[in-house]
């Protein structure tokens, strides 16, 4: 190729490269990319339906033992009356157990409940319920317990059978059971185990390992028989259980009441979930007596919940019961079935 021609091409390329704009590489790579603002945003979540509306009804829980169609129908009558009288929609459920009922309260799946003493205590500790009514049995909302022993055991009675009152406080009367062997009914009985044990613990009285004899009449038989245990506890007055009087004509003379525990053990408690606003709880509390005064409502409460009569209460009414369950040191969860 001609040397002169190559020189012309080289000069032409040099002139073009000098005329191009110069790019700062560092500046180009560090220049931020503008953010892209989205034009579509998710809609805000819808508010939860108000409690007591069709989409979020109040739930009336039957006792776990409720299995008959008559009970289910009766509960529906109560739910319907609640709805008509308060304007809040109420539906019914049947929990599998009291443990499941307490769990339902925790999840917001129960609002109007009838609780046994232990499940009430557990729900109360979790701040899930407020007591509204005590269920009455023979006109009483609570019942007591008693410590019994054989007269042959050398114990002293601090209970006056004429006045039916204790003649000494618990610390004095129960001190004689120190290092003695008790007979308890069973591991969950309030009157035959848990509350009496609470009184012993409260007064710092240690005993020998207990015998669980399965049944309060059996506790009386064991104390009468002598040699099985030194003392026991029963409801008031298990010594008069019909078959016992037939078996042991001298039972009342041989087995004495050492000391009676006051009537602090509840039957059942009708309560409302703390998830219900206070105004709503007040409304339903005032509605229950009105339903009970009607023939259909009274019959429905009897069939569904075995309720004849109720007494207005609050949580303070059960303070003594809660104290001695705690004093027993029995794990509460094991008592709720």
Q: Residues 273-308: pLDDT tens digits?
A: 999 999 999 999 999 999 999 999 999 999 999 999
Is 2 inside a domain boundary? no
Q: What is the DSSP string of 246-298?
A: HH-TTHHHHEEEEEEEEEEEES-EEEEETTS-HHHHHHHHHHHHHHHTSHHHH
Q: Are residues 123 and 194 in the same domain?
A: no
Helix axes 295-305, 278-292, angle to 10 degrees: 110
Q: Are residues 239 and 249 in the same domain?
A: yes
Rg (CA), the chain: 37
Of residues 31 and 127, which shows the higher confidence score? 127
Of residues 335 and 1, which shows the higher confidence score? 335
Q: Are residues 286 and 256 in the same domain?
A: no
Would you state the pLDDT for residue 41? Answer: 63
Q: State which residues form the domain around 201.
A: 142-266
Distance CA 60, CA 290 (A): 17
Domain's final residue, options 266, 289, 308: 266
Mean pLDDT of 121-133: 98
The pLDDT of residue 75 is above 90 = yes
Lookup: tokens for 73:
């129908």
Distance CA 273, CA 281 (A): 8
Reported as a single tens digit per residue, the pLDDT across 179-223 is 999 999 999 999 999 999 999 999 999 999 999 999 999 999 999
Q: Are residues 251 and 164 in the same domain?
A: yes
CA angle, 23 then 28 then 34, to 5°: 140
Domain's final residue, options 228, 250, 266: 266
Lookup: tokens for 220:
């009386």
Q: Are residues 70 and 128 in the same domain?
A: yes
Q: How many helices (H) and strands (E) does the chain have?
A: 14, 13
Would you state the pLDDT for residue 20? Answer: 40
Q: Where are the alpha helices (DSSP H) in the chain?
A: 3-19, 25-30, 69-86, 98-107, 117-125, 170-174, 195-202, 216-225, 242-247, 251-254, 278-292, 295-305, 319-328, 332-335
Residues 6+ positions from 90 with CB-CB distance below 8 Å: 57, 58, 59, 60, 79, 80, 82, 83, 112
Is 49 inside a domain boundary? no
Would you state the pLDDT for residue 274? Answer: 98
CA angle, 66 then 71 then 75, to 5°: 105
Q: Are residues 172 and 253 in the same domain?
A: yes
Is 9 inside a domain boundary? no
Percentage with pLDDT > 70 across the chain: 86
Domain's final residue, options 231, 266, 301: 266
pTM tops 0.95, yes or no: no
Q: Are residues 260 and 149 in the same domain?
A: yes
Do 303 and 74 meet the contact criterion of CB atoms below 8 Å apart?
yes
**Mean residue pLDDT across the chain:** 89
Q: Are residues 150 and 131 in the same domain?
A: no
Distance CA 318, CA 270 (A): 13
Q: Are residues 233 and 160 in the same domain?
A: yes
Do 127 and 274 meet the contact criterion of CB atoms below 8 Å apart?
yes
Q: Are residues 96 and 77 in the same domain?
A: yes
Number of compact structural domains in the chain: 2
Reported as a single tens digit per residue, the pLDDT across 2-40 is 444 334 333 333 333 434 444 343 333 444 545 545 555
Is 75 inside a domain boundary? yes
Q: Are residues 250 and 272 in the same domain?
A: no
**Which CATH number goes with the domain that contains 97?**
3.40.190.10
Reported as a single tens digit per residue, the pLDDT across 233-273 is 999 999 999 889 889 999 999 999 999 999 999 999 999 99
Would you state the pLDDT for residue 65? Answer: 83
Q: What is the DSSP letter of 50?
A: P
Is 42 inside a domain boundary? no
Distance CA 73, CA 153 (A): 54
CA dihedral 204, 207, 209, 211 (to 10 degrees): -110
Is 3 inside a domain boundary? no
Mean pLDDT of 44-54: 83
Would you state the pLDDT for residue 8? Answer: 35
Reported as a single tens digit per residue, the pLDDT across 147-183 is 999 999 999 999 999 999 999 999 999 999 999 999 9
Is 26 inside a domain boundary? no
Would you state the pLDDT for residue 46? Answer: 67
Beta-strand pair 58-61/129-135 = unpaired
Is 212 inside a domain boundary? yes
Mean pLDDT of 96-100: 97
Distance CA 180, CA 212 (A): 15
Q: Are residues 173 and 155 in the same domain?
A: yes
């Amino acid at each position: 190729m001609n040397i002169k021609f190559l020189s012309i091409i080289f000069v032409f390329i040099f002139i073009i490269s000098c005329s191009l704009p110069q790019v700062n590489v560092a500046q180009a790579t560090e220049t931020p990319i503008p953010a892209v603002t989205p034009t579509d945003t998710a809609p805000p979540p819808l508010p939860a339906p108000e409690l007591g509306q069709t989409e979020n009804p109040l739930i009336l829980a039957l006792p776990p033992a409720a299995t008959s169609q008559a009970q289910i129908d009766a509960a529906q009558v109560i739910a319907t009356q609640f709805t008509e009288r308060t304007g809040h929609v109420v539906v019914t459920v049947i929990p599998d157990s009291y443990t499941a009922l307490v769990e339902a309260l925790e999840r917001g799946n129960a609002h109007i409940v009838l609780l046994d003493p232990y499940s009430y205590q557990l729900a109360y500790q979790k701040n899930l319920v407020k007591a509204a009514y005590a269920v009455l049995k023979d006109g009483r909302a609570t019942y007591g317990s008693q410590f019994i022993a054989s007269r042959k055991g050398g114990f002293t009675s601090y209970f006056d059978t004429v006045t039916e009152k204790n003649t000494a406080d618990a610390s004095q009367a129960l001190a004689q059971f120190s290092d003695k062997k008790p007979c308890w009914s069973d591991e969950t009985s309030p009157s035959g185990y848990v509350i009496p044990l609470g009184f012993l613990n409260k007064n710092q009285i240690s005993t020998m390992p207990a015998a669980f004899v399965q049944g309060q009449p059996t506790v009386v038989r064991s104390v009468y028989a002598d040699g099985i245990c030194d003392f026991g506890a029963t409801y008031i007055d298990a010594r008069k259980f019909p078959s016992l009087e037939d078996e042991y004509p001298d039972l009342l003379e041989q087995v004495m009441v050492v000391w009676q525990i006051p009537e602090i053990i509840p039957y059942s408690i009708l309560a409302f979930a703390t998830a219900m606003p206070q105004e709503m709880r007040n409304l339903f509390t005032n509605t229950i007596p009105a339903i009970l005064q009607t023939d259909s409502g009274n019959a429905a409460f009897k069939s569904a919940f075995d309720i004849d009569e109720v007494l207005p209460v609050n949580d303070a009414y059960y303070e003594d019961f809660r104290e001695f369950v705690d004093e027993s040191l029995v794990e509460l969860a094991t008592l709720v079935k």
